[in-house]
Amino acid sequence: MIAASTTPLLLIGGDLKVIAASDSFERTFGVDASQTIGRQMMEIGAGEWRAPQLKMLLENTADGVLIDAYEMDLKRPGHPDRRLVINVRKLAYSDLDEVRLLASVADVTEARAAAKQSQDLLRANTARSDELAIENQALLLEIRHRVANSLQIIAAVLMQNARAAQSEEAREKLRDAHARVMSIADLQQQLAEATTGVVELRAYLTKLCATIAASMIPDPSRLALVVVAEEVTIDGGASISIGLVVTELVINALKHAFPDKQPGRIVVDYRVDGAAWTLSVADTGVGMTKDTPPAAGLGTSIIQALARQLKAQVLVTDMGPGTMISLIHATPDAEVEAVPDQAAV
């Protein structure tokens, strides 16, 4: 199946060495089996694939960390530079020690060139002000691509450090930082792919929660993280705040709601009613402490700041069992009972 694929594919082992390569990969990139099979992906050909970020992508995917598409420029002597998009996924085997990665390589050089040509033609037929707007939009999209790539690399470094940390407290803090960085990286990637400056919220939250689950939930059969948000689009700026809110609330639930590996479920929901909306994160965990109100930590401060930014109020509900924390953005004539800062998260 690998050999016959029309899409350039590589099957890679846990040692990052190529097990099989599609004929289309070898044709597209001018290599043969002697230059691919048994070599690490970074050593294919004459070493033109040797990029530290590519190695980090493969290593983190092998460890179960979900990282989105990585872009790189392939430079070969005697050949024009090519712009590539590389996706790597870990295959599921019954033997967990048998690591297999599937890497697909898409050459987007022509697509990017065609897009640039279209922009050039459009610029030639527009006024100078429109031309500047188009150039700024193209520059913004390129910046978003690069920011997303950089954030994913930073997140991968944080996860590597978390695995190498000696104390559980350090590992926990690094995993928290990884989840926060990935929430922004996922949004930047979606903004880079969008053409209208808005984000499909359900798809974004689903992808964000999948990333958090991959790095922080060791046994998905024991603890489920589910998104049931409505299909809506919102402004990219608001998406950043909502993504950070969800990240903080999910991390909070994972850290406190399920002690002693207790099984359960966390549900992320977003509902719209005209100009009003409600974002909630509910868990089926042990619930809030009855005797002592929770202290105002970093997570609480972040949630309260983001709620003010979104012009929303925070509401905490005892679900019995579990807890639901909601951000409620009401219509101007509606009132929502405020929750004291120290009890918000």
CB atoms within 10 A of CB 135: 12
Task: Give the single-character DSSP code of 72.
Answer: E
Percent over 70 (pLDDT), the chain? 78
Token pair 């719209």: residue: 272
pTM of the model: 0.55
Domain boundary among 79, 107, 135: 107
For the chain, the straight-line distance linking the first and the last C-alpha, in angstroms and rounded, comes to: 50
**Within this chain, do residues 223 and 335 fall inside the same structural domain, yes or no?**
yes
Q: Which of 311, 319, 317 is nearest to 286 (CA)?
A: 319
Least reliable range by pLDDT among 27-36, 196-205, 268-277, 330-339: 330-339
pLDDT attached to residue 129: 56
Which pLDDT score is estimated for 292? 43
Cα 320 from Cα 30, distance rounded (Å): 62
**Tens-digit pLDDT profile for residues 280-337:** 999 999 987 655 444 455 567 778 888 998 999 999 999 888 999 999 998 654 444 4
Residue 288: both structure tokens together: 């809030």
* Boundary-marking domain end, from 176, 195, 214: 195
The alpha carbon of residue 286 and the mean position of all alpha carbons in its chain are separated, in whole angstroms, by: 28
Q: Are residues 342 and 236 in the same domain?
A: yes
Domain boundary residue among 151, 180, 195? Answer: 195
Inter-CA distances, 98 with 14, 47, 57, 209, 279, Å: 7, 27, 18, 26, 40
Helices (H), 165-224: 168-193, 201-216
Give the whole-angstrom CA distance, residue 268 versus residue 270.
7
pLDDT at 337: 43
User: Are residues 179 and 235 both part of a single domain?
Assistant: no
Q: Residue 248: helix, strand or coil by DSSP?
A: helix
> Are residues 146 and 221 both part of a single domain?
no
Assess whether 103 and 122 both reside in one domain.
Answer: no
Same domain? For 3 and 88 the reply is: yes
pLDDT of residue 223: 92
CATH number at residue 323: 3.30.565.10
| Together in a domain, 282 and 341 | yes
Same domain, 323 and 261: yes
Residue 235 pLDDT: 82
254 and 345 fall within a common domain: yes
Q: Encode pLDDT of 27-61 as tens digits.
A: 988 888 888 999 998 899 888 888 888 888 888 88
Least confident stretch, 94-98, 159-163, 193-197, 244-248: 193-197
Q: Is the pLDDT of residue 124 over 70?
A: no
Range of the domain at 41: 1-107
Q: What local confidence, expressed as pLDDT, does residue 342 receive?
A: 34
**Whether 227 contacts 163, CB under 8 Å:** no
SS3 295: coil
Query: Quick one: 148 and 231 in the same domain?
Result: no
Contact 314, 329 (CB under 8 A): no
Report residue 345's pLDDT band, with 50, 70 and 90 as the boundaries: very low
Instruction: Measure the CA–CA gap between 249 and 130, rounded to whole angstroms.
Output: 42
CB 5 within 8 A of CB 98: no
Contact status, residue 167 vs residue 137, Cβ threshold 8 Å: no
Cβ atoms of 51 and 140 closer than 8 Å: no
Q: How many CB atoms are closer than 10 A to CB 298? A: 10
Task: State whether 101 and 152 are in the same domain.
Answer: no
Closest CA to 183 of 160, 206, 217, 157: 206
Claim to verify: residue 181 and residue 254 sit in the same structural domain: no
Number of folded domains that form the chain: 3
Give the sign of the dihedral formed by CA 53, CA 59, CA 65, CA 67: positive
CATH code, domain with 71? 3.30.450.20
Q: For the beta carbon of residue 337, count every other beta carbon within 10 angstroms.
A: 7
Instruction: Give the pLDDT confidence score for residue 341 in this predicted structure.
Output: 37
